[in-house]
Structure 1
Amino acid sequence: MIEPTDLDEAGDRSTPPLINDIRAPGPVARARMLSGDVGYAVTRAAEAQHVLCDPAFSSAATFLPRTPAEPQEPVGSSRVLFEMDPPEHTRLRRAVAQAFNRRRVEAMRPGIAEVVDGLLDEMAADGAPADLVRALCAPLPLTDICELLGVPREDRDSFRGWAEAIMALRGHSPQEIDRARAAIQRYFVELVAARRAEPADDLVSELLTVRDREEPITGPELVRLAITLLIAGHGPTMNQLARSVYALLTRPEMYAALHRDPDLVATAVEELLRTVPSVPVGTPRLALRDVEVGGVPIPAGSTVAVSALAANHDPALFTDPEVTDLGRTDNKHLTFGHGPHFCIGAQLARTEMRTALAALVRRFPDLRLAVPPEAVQWRTDSLFHGPLELPVTW
């Protein structure tokens, strides 16, 4: 069986031959999931897009206590967005989509740049060496999403701990995860009540207006939307930024190329999203009926996981997929997903990464790892994969 951890190691170690080994059995292969269940891994782009768009594959059913071929009752009503299916998912996603459209995110760009510059000012003042995860990669997306939601500064450290516990695969007990879920829910229940009494210039207040005037969204659903945005707006970007900088610093010529030509940053971000995704294997789906993908029969009740990492190296979609080309322009990677669950915060994540990398290469042209690459410790207890710490010097 192919362990999903093999896919993760391929991303961390940048070993395309391993990716090719995983794809060798075909676009869909039997695989053992982290849960221990045997399911199917999808490793080619066309088949990945099929699974991510086909309603025969359910996100919501995956999160039931037991996973029958057909859900016995409507699911998702107590779930966050990535644990839902249409039409419930569509209704709630529509309510929040405007907050992350291109125009809204573009208006946030000066504020994001200000946050980045402030964090880098502190890093420079503290001096080398520094942990780039603590100095930049973690606080940047957390600050931005908390600003968007209207969460006060003094509460943000707690939010980071809660979000990491909720998304943990290992390292946290079920009781710790339940406590984190309860704590974050209590917080947002109180925040929603406060904003209903006294609206502010933030997304929670805006969503309350939508709830009251346009869409039939309940108060608990509004709380869960806020939880979704916190988790999805923090963990993936934190790890993606750290993984990307690690990839650049282990190939210093790439980092130097960005310093010489800052115009490369936009395409470089897309290429790093393609080659070192922070979510190498996406949230599994459950097959609700017998279905065929890539010529492989998948029985009802089977768990199916899409490997963005492998699909992003599909030669049918990318020229020379094993080559990291910072100037690649035709880059239809699947790191943000595809179909109904395409990452709602993709534009914000792109803006954060572009702003952070542009500032790093401008202000720290001599940035380099402060430890050997193999000494960097990787996060293995979460759906989001990245360095636990990234020691750098300059």
Structure 2
Amino acid sequence: MPIVDSPRNHDERDIPEIGPVRRWTLPSGEEGYLVTRHEDVRRVLSDPVFSRAATLEPGAPRYAPRPSLGVPDSLLDMDAPRHTRLRGIASRAFTRRRVEAMRPGVQEVVDRLLDDMARTGPPADLVEALSAPLPITVICQLLGVPYGDRVTFREWSTAMLSVTDPPEKVFEAAGNLRAYMSDLVASKAAEPGDDLLSALSTADEEGDALTGPELVNLAVVLLVAGYETTQSQLTAGVHALLRRPELYAELCADPSLVPSATEELLRAHPAVPQLLFRVTTQDAEVAGVTIPARSGVVLSAVAANHDGAVFADAHGIDPRRDDNVHLTFGHGPHFCLGALLARTELQVALAALVSRFPALELAVPSSEIPWRAGHLVSGPTALPVTW
């Protein structure tokens, strides 16, 4: 799923009006620029003049008044050439061939979880029955992280993604998770297994090995982004379908629509409704507007996903939409590393649901479903369903 560099959480009511590049007051009180049109967001995300690394430099514009939680050795906050090197190493685990080879294993996990849900009978909480255990099982298997430790590292990751907890608590959680990963990486180097962390901790191809801090921070990013976003995306997507039962029924009648419906739900209801932040390293022009060097630039992927110049009926949900060029996974060098894996999990889970539970419906009114608040990842914290 999308790698999280979003400064805050928001919902559709916060989508800025789509329009030209314009001056915008950041929550920090500083003046910056806001980019909302699909074409312009894509342009900025692919231009190295708009830097992630520069957002952490002393004296750089700040999106929010609270301290930045970025880490210089994190993939999220690097520019080329360091980002290119690190991403190139990490991306070997997420090639199309490797991810497709994982599909049967994902299907096996989904089938087992839905077997348990059917056996227990309605009602059920889809978060606990499917949305949470699926991605955490898959990412633990991929990385070689003990599934039995999930309660502990989920607490840390939840704190890390909070936008309301005191910064001290967030830093403490991040430090705990890095320490945990450091110990795990060391154990993998000593006794490698058949998993990604073992492969990365022992790789040394033509001097291409990761440094210790690089590997630990990459492991943290892959773990947190590997399940937090997919869990919420699956839950939010199913919720959107069950709020419009005719849409869910359409997929039940024609499961071949699941891939396009998955993309449409990613576009219309992203779990990470990103406001991406960049700082210009020199003067730059976007859509005829000159943005001076050392300016803060905010990009709304949500607004871009609702740009009527690109998407017909942009505020609706069309499971048959073709050529869905949404920006939920980003664009350019920081395009989501795990996008293929996320798509696979979402497609397999949704296809299994519409096949096995055609009568699925919300067990409570939509207005009673609890949603995450104060968190970088958006979605229901519980989804009571019946059938």
- TM-score with structure 2 setting the length: 0.90
Which deviates further from its counterpart, 331-340 or 378-387?
378-387
Indicate yes or no: 2:25 matched with 1:22: no
Indicate yes or no: 2:260 matched with 1:258: no
Cα deviation, 1:307-344, whole Å, max 9, x if unaligned, reads 11211122332233233210112111111100000001
CA distance change for structure 1 residues 36 and 131 in 2, over 3 Å: closer, same or farther? farther
Find the partner of 2:106 among 101, 109, 112. Answer: 112
- Identity over the aligned pairs, expressed in percent? 53
Indicate yes or no: 2:149 matched with 1:155: yes
Say whether the 8 Å CA contact 1:290–1:299 is kept in structure 2. Answer: yes
Distance across 2 between alignment mates of 1:275 and 1:392: 22
Q: Tell me what 2:65 maps to.
A: none
Q: Tell me what 1:99 maps to.
A: 93
Say whether the 8 Å CA contact 2:11–2:273 is kept in structure 1. Answer: no
Shift of 1:33: 4.1
Q: Tell me what 2:371 maps to.
A: 378
Cα deviation, 1:175-204, whole Å, max 9, x if unaligned, reads 221121111111111111111111100001
Q: Tell me what 2:281 maps to.
A: 288
Task: Say which SS state the counterpart of residue 285 (structure 2) adopts.
Answer: strand
Pairing 1:237-256 to 2, within 5 Å after superposition = 237-256=230-249
Shift of 1:213: 4.9
CA distance change for structure 1 residues 7 and 215 in 2, over 3 Å: closer, same or farther? closer
Say whether the 8 Å CA contact 2:9–2:374 is kept in structure 1. Answer: no
Paired letter, 1:356: A
Shift of 1:216: 4.2
Distance across 2 between alignment mates of 1:66 and 1:111: 48
Distance across 2 between alignment mates of 1:232 and 1:211: 26
Say whether the 8 Å CA contact 2:264–2:324 is kept in structure 1. Answer: yes
Paired letter, 1:9: D
Paired letter, 2:11: E
Task: Say which SS state the counterpart of residue 378 (structure 2) adopts.
Answer: coil
Which deviates further from its counterpart, 314-323 or 227-236?
314-323
Cα deviation, 1:230-267, whole Å, max 9, x if unaligned, reads 12212221111111111100000000111111111011
Task: Say which SS state the counterpart of residue 284 (structure 1) adopts.
Answer: strand
Distance across 1 between alignment mates of 2:266 and 2:71: 32
Paired letter, 2:363: A
Say whether the 8 Å CA contact 1:7–1:307 is kept in structure 2. Answer: no
CA distance change for structure 1 residues 88 and 98 in 2, over 3 Å: closer, same or farther? same
Find the partner of 1:267 among 244, 256, 260. Answer: 260
Shift of 1:93: 0.4
Distance across 1 between alignment mates of 2:170 and 2:58: 16
Q: Tell me what 2:187 maps to.
A: 194
Q: Tell me what 2:73 maps to.
A: 79
Shift of 1:27: 2.8
Paired letter, 2:110: V
CA distance change for structure 1 residues 54 and 309 in 2, over 3 Å: closer, same or farther? same
Distance across 1 between alignment mates of 2:161 and 2:322: 33
- TM-score with structure 1 setting the length: 0.89
CA distance change for structure 1 residues 143 and 35 in 2, over 3 Å: closer, same or farther? farther
Task: Say which SS state the counterpart of residue 41 (structure 1) adopts.
Answer: strand
Say whether the 8 Å CA contact 1:7–1:309 is kept in structure 2. Answer: no
Cα deviation, 1:86-120, whole Å, max 9, x if unaligned, reads 11111100001010111101111111111112222
Which deviates further from its counterpart, 176-185 or 330-339?
176-185
Find the partner of 2:170 among 165, 171, 177. Answer: 177
Paired letter, 1:336: F
Distance across 2 between alignment mates of 1:244 and 1:65: 40
Paired letter, 2:353: L
Say whether the 8 Å CA contact 2:73–2:213 is kept in structure 1. Answer: no
Say whether the 8 Å CA contact 1:277–1:308 is kept in structure 2. Answer: no
Distance across 1 between alignment mates of 2:322 and 2:280: 35
Aligned length: 375
CA distance change for structure 1 residues 356 and 33 in 2, over 3 Å: closer, same or farther? farther
Is there any run of 5+ residues in structure 1 with no aligned partner, and where?
A: 12-17, 70-75
Q: Tell me what 2:295 maps to.
A: 302
Which deviates further from its counterpart, 213-222 or 52-61?
213-222
Distance across 1 between alignment mates of 2:8 and 2:316: 20
Distance across 2 between alignment mates of 1:7 and 1:184: 22
Shift of 1:36: 5.0
Q: Tell me what 1:8 maps to.
A: 10
Shift of 1:298: 2.3
Task: Say which SS state the counterpart of residue 60 (structure 2) adopts.
Answer: coil
Q: Tell me what 2:66 maps to.
A: none
Distance across 1 between alignment mates of 2:168 and 2:204: 32
Distance across 2 between alignment mates of 1:295 and 1:247: 38
Q: Tell me what 1:122 maps to.
A: 116
Q: Tell me what 1:277 maps to.
A: 270
